[in-house]
Chains A and B, each alone.
Chain A
Amino acid sequence: DTEVTQTPKHLVMGMTNKKSLKCEQHMGHRAMYWYKQKAKKPPELMFVYSYEKLSINESVPSRFSPECPNSSLLNLHLHALQPEDSALYLCASSRKAGGGKNTEAFFGQGTRLTVV
């Protein structure tokens, strides 16, 4: 199984809503990532978990709250988002963090988020 599964595929939420994005992998990877991607732009790193511990938070606003309940799951909790937060949210995993030998990242198909 070389898949990273993200749910839901699409999400529309109001600015006062609370919602969560979910990501799951069963490849035994110990690094997991959240990226945000706006149209025609490269993926932008948000958070990195390494061995279930948050190792990087790229100055992401607190309305985005990551959680890694175990080595296979990664959540992104959303609260009080703004319309400019509408984007494709991508989850990825790799054997280890860092991008070195044999640590290529496997990406999910993303969640298309629209904030209204």
Chain B
Amino acid sequence: LAKTTQPISMDSYEGQEVNITCSHNNIATNDYITWYQQFPSQGPRFIIQGYKTKVTNEVASLFIPADRKSSTLSLPRVSLSDTAVYYCLVGDTAYSGAGSYQLTFGKGTKLSVIP
């Protein structure tokens, strides 16, 4: 069961703001939205998590509209070192073990930053 849908790839120039959108039409009431970054041959790294509206930390912002059927990861002023694959996952703390979709990675978005 595909839980999330993202663009396969995106290109951006250094210094630009990049917005990556994730669609999660079947998000459940208790689900949180979590984004990870992965560099080649490394484990994914947590970036940001949110439930609704806007969340900001030192590396990114996460925008979630009222219907929560999508979310947008915003990376301000990207640099070459932001070239990576970005994954969004949705999951629920009240995990019952009945399904593994909360822990399942979708295809992700490969971001290429161009000098």
Contact = CB atoms under 8 A, between A and B. Distances in A.
Which 3 A-B pairs have CB atoms at the shortest separation, nearest pair first? A99-B91, A100-B93, A98-B95
B45 to A, nearest CB: 7
B11 to A, nearest CB: 17
Given A101-B93, A105-B44, A112-B41, 7 more contacts: A43-B44, A45-B104, A56-B97, A90-B43, A96-B93, A99-B92, A100-B32
B99 to A, nearest CB: 9
Given A42-B108, A90-B43, A99 B100 contact: no
Nearest to B35: A104
B49 A109 contact: no
Interface residues of B, number: 31
Nearest to A50: B97
Interface in A71-116: 88, 90, 92, 96-110, 112
A99 B45 contact: no
Contacts of A107: 43-45
A1 interface: no
A100 B92 CA distance: 4
Contacts of B92: 98-100
B70 to A, nearest CB: 17
B103 A101 contact: no
B13 interface: no
Contact of B103 (A99, A106, A108, A110): A99
From B41, B45, B51, B95, residue with most partner A Cβ within 10 Å: B95
A99 B34 contact: yes
A4 B31 CA distance: 25
Contacts of A108: 43
B94 interface: yes
A48 interface: yes
Given A42-B87, A98-B91, A98-B94, A110 B106 contact: no
